Amino acid sequence: MKKLAVVALGGNALLRDNQQGTIDEQEQNTTDTLENLVFLIREGYDLVITHGNGPQVGNILMRNDAGEGVYGIPQMPLDICVADSQGGIGYMIERMLRNVLYKHGIEREVVTLVTMALVKERDPAFERPSKRVGKIYNKEEADRIAAEKRWIFKEDKKREGGYRRVVPSPAPIEIINEKVIETLARQGAIVVASGGGGVPVYRDLEGRLRPSESVIDKDLASALLGARIGADEFYILTDVPFVYINYNTPQQEVKEFLNYNDTMSYLQEGMFGEGDMAPKIKACLQFIKNGGQKSVITEAFKLEDRSYGTKITMEYDK
């Protein structure tokens, strides 16, 4: 059986911090990133591609605000905004990937699935909203909106005196389309799925799917999907070539090879930034714990160069 890999595209793979976010910029970034997947395809891997949606869904929420304020257009709930971003980004990835495959003379089908992710209705995360979404407001605006809409705001780390809405980020427990995703991938189609962590839903007491006003961590959802479809390898493409311990200190150290136990120890010691690398490490460990052979964290444009990237396995595997 061919190897199956899940490749999670980080936000920088689509949009960079120093860019405006035009469609031309996003399409070029996406194409440049997808070029790095060609070697996996040539090596015969079956592929599932997941992606982030942070900047894009933030822009959708800002359009919500503008439309409501200027034209009185009713705001759409967060689950619809996530689904909107999944469809738009998925279309862009699929079109750019089809062009890359055509350029390299590779015949593979590509399919994009709007994907729901199941969460628990009473996940503890709903008691501690932490995921920042949408635009930055000043305190007066934040207080007014909080009173009107019962939204929760927290001070933004990037702008002093700025406040952003925070929403829960519950743990995904199932990817609704996982069986279809696995079937298509095993048949050779490259599947784009679980964008932005998936559209969060829960089951009510009658078993019906209901929308959840929350955002799911993209890497955790990707790791869960990988484990549940029996993927062999899990790649997180980000903006750094390696994982470091003691980052930004005189004791900074590159870790190219890690095993499960040592990585868990480093995580518990606080070696990885909680809002940055720690969620990625947790996702990699979850994938390995649930049967995956290898997790890799590497820079988006260095995937083909095996000398880059931090490889995490159950035991050391150099």
Maximum separation of any 2 CA atoms in the chain, in Å: 59
Task: Reply yes or no on whether 64 is catalytic.
Answer: no
Q: Measured between alpha carbons, how far is 206 from 140 in angstroms, rounded to an integer?
A: 42
- For residue 50, the surrounding DSSP H or E stretch is strand 46-51
Type of residue found at 161 = G
Q: Which residue in the list 12, 29, 64, 177 is annotated as catalytic?
A: 12
Confirm whether 11 is a catalytic residue: yes
Residues 6 or more apart whose Cβ sits within 8 Å of residue 101: 41, 107, 108, 110
Question: CB within 8 A of 173, min separation 6: which ones?
Answer: 118, 119, 120, 224
Q: Which listed residue (11, 197, 198, 226) is catalytic?
A: 11
Which of 54, 58, 198, 280 is catalytic? The answer is 280
Active-site option among 64, 90, 131, 309:
131
User: Pairing between strand 116-118 and 174-175?
Assistant: antiparallel
| Cβ atoms 213, 79 nearer than 8 A | yes
Residue 131: active-site member:
yes
Alpha-carbon gap, residue 51 to 219, rounded angstroms: 9
CB 100 within 8 A of CB 94: no
Q: Which residue in 29, 195, 218, 282 is the catalytic one?
A: 218
State how far the Cα of 176 lies from the Cα of 171, in Å rounded to an integer: 14
> In this structure, what token pair is assigned to residue 174?
């199932």
- Separation CA 225–CA 234 (nearest Å): 10
282 is catalytic: no
User: Nearest to residue 174, comparing CAs of 203, 131, 196?
Assistant: 203
| Known active-site residue 103 | no
Q: What angle do CA 286, 10, 233 make, to 5 degrees?
A: 40
Output b/e per residue, 168-190; b: 16+ Cβ within 10 A: bbbbbebbbbbebbbebbeeebb
Catalytic residue ranges: 11-12, 131, 218, 280
